[in-house]
Amino acid sequence: MKITKSPLVQTDFFVLNCNYNFIEPTEESTNITETFSNYKIDFDFAHKLQDNGQIYIFVKVEINNIKNALPGYKMFIEGVSIFEINEAKIVAQKQKDDLINISGLSIAINNLRSYIDNITMYNPLGKYTLPVIDLGALYKEKNKKIKKNKSIN
């Protein structure tokens, strides 16, 4: 099947900050798959439109980054995915917004996921993969946070 290229073009991805720690399991019977699924994950994101038309999507994830962290991996990672939109292929503002908010954020998350896969794959417990994220729930939570911050100010 022939592909149609998206008007959204990723031009780069950078890791801006990373803090990674390995926490050795204390018991041999530790089920690491179960432990991974119990990690507390905190995620945040932001979009920024640059004057030159580039779109920056910043993503931040904290995995198991708590005081009494579970065995395995403890991580804090910030990254930015940089995009451009081929305006000639855009028909409506809603299409542009969807490209940024859905496709762009999904790509930015996958960039982060690949980075996490790579930094954990050579460790004693093997690769940790960031779970699939429900974008609808993520945006709902983000909107609640924005409204709460506006009501405080």
% of the chain at pLDDT higher than 90 = 71
The Cα–Cα gap between 147 and 141 comes to: 10
Q: Cα separation of 75 and 63, whole Å?
A: 5
What CATH topology corresponds to 8-152?
Bacterial Protein-export protein SecB (3.10.420)
DSSP 132: P
DSSP structure class, residue 77: E
- Residue written as token pair 């890791």: 15
In the predicted structure, residue 22 carries a pLDDT above the cut 90: yes
Q: What is residue 113's predicted lDDT score, i.e. its pLDDT?
A: 97
In this prediction, residues 14-40 reach a mean pLDDT of 89
Domain ranges of the chain: 8-152
Mean pLDDT of 79-107: 89
**Pairing state between β 41-49 and 55-63:** antiparallel
Q: Quick check: 24 pLDDT over 60?
A: yes
Residue 29 confidence (pLDDT) above 60: no
pTM across the whole model? 0.89
**Whether pLDDT at 111 is above 80:** yes
C-alpha to C-alpha distances, 120 to 30, 82, 115, 144, nearest whole angstrom: 18, 24, 9, 33
Asked if the model's pLDDT at residue 109 lies above 90, the reply is yes
